[in-house]
Structure 1
């Protein structure tokens, strides 16, 4: 475990077990250089403890990059709760997790993520103030979708020469909270939508409301389109799937879309423009971070508008250096983390 922490350069790793509620959780804090680490709490079934720890560490670094490129006074962190086969009392489990968060004295702020909800955050909030995305604070998914929509327009301009989305074929993989909200915005902009989701009910709803074309999950990646928008779980882009793509660009809301930076190079070699996920999907983080600090909605909306500007900057560097936008974004984030202003402790 120490070797993994050393290789990932993570600041700290915290584990807890609560036999009474069945809680087994990991909190990874990548850094607190600019402020408290902020990142969602995942509640998923993992095959083993090592997988949960590795997921938390990888996602925490992603949050550091996301926060610094979004210009937020936050560090990067992530929590994962290993979902047990049987949960006698879900509320009690998340209350126990709240006590765990409180024990870190404000170094980590938690939020909703895959498998968790605002109701879960309400349970956490009974034992710590270091939580957002509660029922009162609101679901950040709509703001994530707003940022992705702005990023898709920026990507269309960079790759296709216009940010007018009318008539563009955009394939959305995953119609969860973010994917469905994104579909609504793209439909309003006149895009022709191709959609897939494991939940056939969500697909049917998108067909009825947006005139979307249903595509089988296993066929979506190889379906011709202008822009592919992955909005489900991560690791969708690997050497095999990238070889199947028939699109001009990839720009979606999912985290950790690439299995490796070599896959980003493969996309670049194929002439497929890639919007780095932690840049384009930072709208949710912007919302929860600024809302937690008491900022107004107008301030949050103005900050969201900067997502397109940051993507334009990344694309310009990538074009000038003939490198993948993913590598450029990593380089910019590392530079800002190393030389940018830090929190005085």
Structure 2
């Protein structure tokens, strides 16, 4: 366990269980140099407890990097609740999780993530104030999509020479809350959309409302396009898939798109510009962090506008250094987190 923590430079790993509600929870706190750790709570089934712990640790590290490059006074953390095979009372389980968070005295602030909802956050909020993404706080998804859209424009400028998206072909993998909101914004900008999702209903909706072209999920990565926008689960770019890419750039909302940093190097060698995922998708984190601090919507929107500026800075460094933007982003984040 300590080897996992040391490899990720993790500050703390907290475990809690509550036999009455079935709660088995993990909170990973990666780095609090810039402020209290903030990160979503996942509620998923895992093959074993070690898989859940590794997921929490990996995601917490990504949240530290994301918060640092987003210019937030927050550290990075992540929570994982292992979904039990049978659950009698979901509300009671999340209330128990709220009590667990409260014992950490503000070192970790939770939010929605895969498998959780604002209603779950409302249950947590009954026992701790260290929670955001509640019903009253609002859904962060539109703000994530807003930031990704701005990042796609910056990526188009850097790779294609113009931030005018009209007529470009953008392939979106995943039409969840963020992916669909992004598709709507791209459609309004005159983009030709190629879409895939495991939910055929979401694809059909995009076809009817946005004039999108449906593509089978297994074929999307190899479909020629200007920009590929991964907006589903992580690990989509790996040794098996990177050779299939037929795009000029990859810029999407999914977390942990790269199976390893070497995949980014391979894309760089092939002339495919990669938008570091934790930079381009930071709009949701910006929203929940600043909303939790009581900032106004105009102030949050102004902060969101810095995403494309940060990406442009990273692309310029990458071009000058002849390195992948992913390696440049990591180096910039680590300088903010660890100094040196």
TM-score (norm 2): 0.99
Q: Deviations over 1:122-161 (max 9, x none)?
A: 0110110000000000010000000000000000000000
Rounded to whole Å, the distance in 1 between the matches of 2:160 and 2:3 is: 44
How big is the shift at 1:180? 0.5
* Unaligned ranges ≥5, structure 2: none
Secondary structure of 1:115's aligned partner:
coil
Match of 1:37 in 2: 37
Secondary structure of 2:334's aligned partner:
helix
Match of 2:319 in 1: 319
Rounded to whole Å, the distance in 2 between the matches of 1:287 and 1:264 is: 28
Rounded to whole Å, the distance in 1 between the matches of 2:311 and 2:156 is: 11
Match of 2:94 in 1: 94
How big is the shift at 1:57? 0.6
Secondary structure of 2:50's aligned partner:
helix
Rounded to whole Å, the distance in 2 between the matches of 1:278 and 1:219 is: 25
Rounded to whole Å, the distance in 2 between the matches of 1:90 and 1:207 is: 35
Q: Deviations over 1:218-261 (max 9, x none)?
A: 11101111000000010000011010000000000000000000
Match of 1:292 in 2: 292
Q: Deviations over 1:63-122 (max 9, x none)?
A: 000001010000000001111111111111111111111110000000001111101100
Q: How does 1:170-209 map to 2 (within 5 A)?
A: 170-209=170-209
Match of 1:132 in 2: 132
Rounded to whole Å, the distance in 2 between the matches of 1:218 and 1:83 is: 28
Tell me how many residue pairs correspond in the alignment: 340
Secondary structure of 2:164's aligned partner:
coil
Match of 1:111 in 2: 111
1:301 equivalenced with 2:312 (yes/no): no
Rounded to whole Å, the distance in 2 between the matches of 1:330 and 1:5 is: 18
Rounded to whole Å, the distance in 1 between the matches of 2:91 and 2:202 is: 27
Match of 1:210 in 2: 210
Rounded to whole Å, the distance in 1 between the matches of 2:51 and 2:268 is: 30
Match of 1:48 in 2: 48
How big is the shift at 1:313? 0.5
Note if contact 1:239-1:266 (Cα within 8 Å) is conserved in structure 2: no
- Superposed CA RMSD in Å reads 0.8
Note if contact 2:151-2:311 (Cα within 8 Å) is conserved in structure 1: yes
Match of 2:152 in 1: 152
Match of 2:166 in 1: 166
Rounded to whole Å, the distance in 1 between the matches of 2:20 and 2:266 is: 48
Rounded to whole Å, the distance in 2 between the matches of 1:274 and 1:244 is: 15
Match of 2:339 in 1: 339
TM-score (norm 1): 0.98
Rounded to whole Å, the distance in 2 between the matches of 1:280 and 1:301 is: 15
1:25 equivalenced with 2:28 (yes/no): no
Rounded to whole Å, the distance in 2 between the matches of 1:295 and 1:115 is: 27
Rounded to whole Å, the distance in 1 between the matches of 2:61 and 2:201 is: 34
Bigger CA drift: 283-292 or 87-96? 87-96
How big is the shift at 1:31? 1.2
Secondary structure of 1:291's aligned partner:
helix
Following superposition, which runs of at least 4 residues in structure 1 exceed 6 angstroms of deviation? none
How big is the shift at 1:296? 0.5
Secondary structure of 1:240's aligned partner:
coil
Match of 2:262 in 1: 262
Match of 2:57 in 1: 57
Note if contact 2:287-2:300 (Cα within 8 Å) is conserved in structure 1: yes
